[in-house]
Amino acid sequence: MAKGGWSGKPTDFALEVEDDTMVLFRELCEQASRGVIYRAPIDTSRFLANNNFSVNTPDETFDENKRDPSRSITLADARRAMAALKPGDSFHIVNTTPYGKYLEAGTSGQAPTGIYGVTFNSIKEYSGS
């Protein structure tokens, strides 16, 4: 056994690890959110604006009239969801725009390699997975 033992309570260490984990989780959520927001084509901004961000349950709503050419409302929606995250939660980014599968397949000149897949690969690379 090491001399001296713990200098603090094990529960304090557990809370510190939990806090550090949440910082990393929120950072990855921010990167994923920004990835899909800034990779999304902005032609009509309908696809972009229909990126839905939620905690624990996917939000699969679609609003044909929703637009966000500045991207700021969509980013604010993402950050609002991230602010609600607690340890053990899951973060969902969903887009059910009917033509989204074609955009993901690279049919847009503004997103020739897709949106979600490229973002996922970028997050994987960043996190070392």
pLDDT of residue 1: 45
Q: Please give the model's pTM, rounded to 2 decimal places.
A: 0.86
Bigger pLDDT: 13 or 65? 65
65: pLDDT strictly greater than 70: yes
Q: Whole-angstrom Cα distance, residue 98 to residue 96?
A: 6
Percent of the chain with pLDDT over 70: 90
Q: Per-domain residue ranges for the chain?
A: 20-121
Write the pLDDT tens digit of every residue in 24-47.
999 999 999 999 999 999 999 999
Per the CB < 8 A criterion, the answer to whether 111 and 41 are in contact is: yes
pLDDT of residue 128: 79
Residue 18 pLDDT class (50, 70, 90 cuts): confident
| DSSP per-residue letters across 64-129 | TT---TTSHHHHHHHHHHHHT--TT--EEEE---TTHHHHHTT-BTTBTT-SHHHHHHHHHHHHT-
Q: Whole-angstrom Cα distance, residue 101 to residue 115?
A: 10
